């Protein structure tokens, strides 16, 4: 289970307990191996952490993002590093020891020295999981407007690549395995929730704007998925859950589209796309669907084949989007 945002740490302790208690009134809580909540370090309180732990949360994902106040200010964040330290301390005090820290590189004005300091500060907190994301400015945000106006500028692509390389090499030295393009974990602490997405395991999303995916067909005749998305505003969402409204989206995804989703998502993972699993899911071989293109990309040094699976090379990680364009079915 994953409680995400929005910002769950804005809930009051009573709201947190009521929400999770409601979920566990209809779900078998004893089968939940991993229950994550996201949190903004600037809004975490002792009472909220206590309520989360009592309600069954056993994994905390904190948006640390950066170490330096000036970079956090550029991102529009309301916290500082001491808030992150305190959130981690409180989490462990109440028995939530599985902790993820989200970090961002490629922030306007960010130097390699600052990125190194951010990695050092994150590792000093001894998390079990670290996610590193290249900054993608969102439309209609103050940051994007400042970039468009020229007040700020992004680091050049080579600097971003060096930052990513630094994260890979440094985290490996501390025992973190890169199991997905952006995610690093100590052994046994890989995020089950994220892996579920990448392996196309069905999921149900509850709440405004939440998305769901179910499998309606799998095997010899191909794989068909049904995707649903809840409305983005409260009145439409209320109508939907009361039975008088419709989802914002409700579509069936064709076998060819789900094949591409499989290769797109599995190539994000270090283990890559397994040929046997692909056949079991889609009723056809990876070789028949993508073989010629996979071998072409292998000759370019972007993919490699090992143990019945296709995986990205280090260079392939940098240009994954271009590789996926090449793999699109004709």
User: Phi then psi for 84, rounded to 5 degrees?
Assistant: -65, -45
Check: CB of residue 117 under 8 Å from CB of residue 68.
yes
Domains of the chain are 2-190 (3.30.750.200), 199-253 (no CATH), 269-327 (1.10.10.10)
Q: pLDDT digits over 218-277, tens only? A: 888 899 999 999 999 999 999 999 999 899 999 999 999 999 999 999 999 999 999 999
Which SS3 state, helix, strand or coil, does residue 38 take?
strand
Give the pLDDT confidence score for residue 330 in this predicted structure. Answer: 53
**pLDDT on residue 143:** 86
Q: How far apart are CA 98 and CA 214, in angstroms?
A: 29
pTM of the model: 0.92
**φ, ψ dihedrals at 115, nearest 5°:** -65, -40
pLDDT at 306: 94
- Structure token digits, residue 135: 């900054």
- Let me know: does 103 contact 63? Beta carbons within 8 Å: no
Question: What value does the CA radius of gyration of the chain take, rounded to a whole number of Å?
Answer: 21
Element housing 241 (H / E): helix 234-241
The three-class DSSP label of residue 36 is strand
Which residue, among 265, 228, 225, 226, has the nearest Cα to 246 in the 3D structure? Answer: 228
The tokens describing 51, both together, are: 């309520």
- Per-residue pLDDT in tens (0 to 9) along the chain, 330 residues: 999 977 999 999 999 999 999 999 988 888 889 999 999 999 999 999 999 999 999 999 999 999 999 999 999 999 999 999 999 999 999 999 999 999 999 999 999 999 999 999 999 999 999 999 999 888 878 888 888 888 888 888 889 999 999 999 999 999 999 999 999 999 999 999 999 999 999 999 999 999 999 998 888 889 999 999 999 999 999 999 999 989 999 999 999 999 999 999 999 999 999 999 999 999 999 999 999 999 999 999 999 999 999 999 999 988 888 899 888 865
Q: Which of 100, 124, 89, 112 is nearest to 37 (CA)?
A: 100
């Amino acid at each position: 289970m994953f409680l995400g945002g929005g910002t769950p740490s804005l809930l009051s302790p009573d709201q947190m307990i009521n929400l999770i208690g409601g979920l566990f009134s209809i779900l078998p809580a004893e089968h939940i191996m991993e229950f994550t909540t996201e949190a903004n370090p600037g809004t975490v309180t002792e009472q909220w952490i206590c309520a989360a732990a009592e309600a069954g949360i056993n994994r905390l994902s904190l948006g640390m993002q950066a170490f330096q106040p000036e970079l956090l200010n550029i991102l529009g964040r309301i916290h500082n590093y001491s808030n992150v330290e305190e959130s981690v301390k409180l989490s462990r005090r109440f028995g939530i020891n599985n902790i993820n820290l989200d970090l961002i590189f490629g922030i306007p004005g960010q130097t390699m020295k600052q990125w190194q300091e951010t990695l050092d500060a994150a590792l000093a907190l001894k998390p079990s999981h670290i996610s590193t994301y290249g900054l993608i400015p969102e439309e209609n945000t103050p940051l994007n407007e400042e970039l468009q106006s020229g007040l700020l500028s992004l680091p050049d692509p080579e600097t971003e690549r060096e930052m990513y390389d630094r994260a890979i090499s440094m985290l490996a030295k501390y025992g973190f395995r890169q199991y997905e393009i952006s995610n690093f974990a100590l052994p046994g602490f890989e995020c089950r929730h994220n892996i579920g997405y990448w392996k196309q395991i069905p999921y149900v999303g509850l709440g405004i704007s939440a998305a769901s995916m179910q499998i309606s067909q799998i095997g010899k005749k191909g794989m068909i998925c049904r995707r649903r998305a809840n409305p983005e505003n409260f009145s439409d969402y209320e109508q939907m859950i009361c039975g008088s409204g419709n989802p914002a989206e409700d579509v069936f995804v064709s076998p060819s589209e789900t094949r591409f989703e499989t290769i797109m998502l599995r190539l994000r993972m270090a283990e890559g796309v397994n040929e046997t699993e692909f056949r079991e899911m889609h009723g056809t071989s990876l070789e028949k669907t993508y073989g010629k293109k996979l071998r072409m990309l292998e000759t370019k040094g972007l993919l490699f084949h090992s143990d019945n699976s296709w995986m990205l090379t280090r260079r392939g990680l940098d240009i994954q989007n271009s590789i996926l364009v090449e793999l699109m079915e004709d």
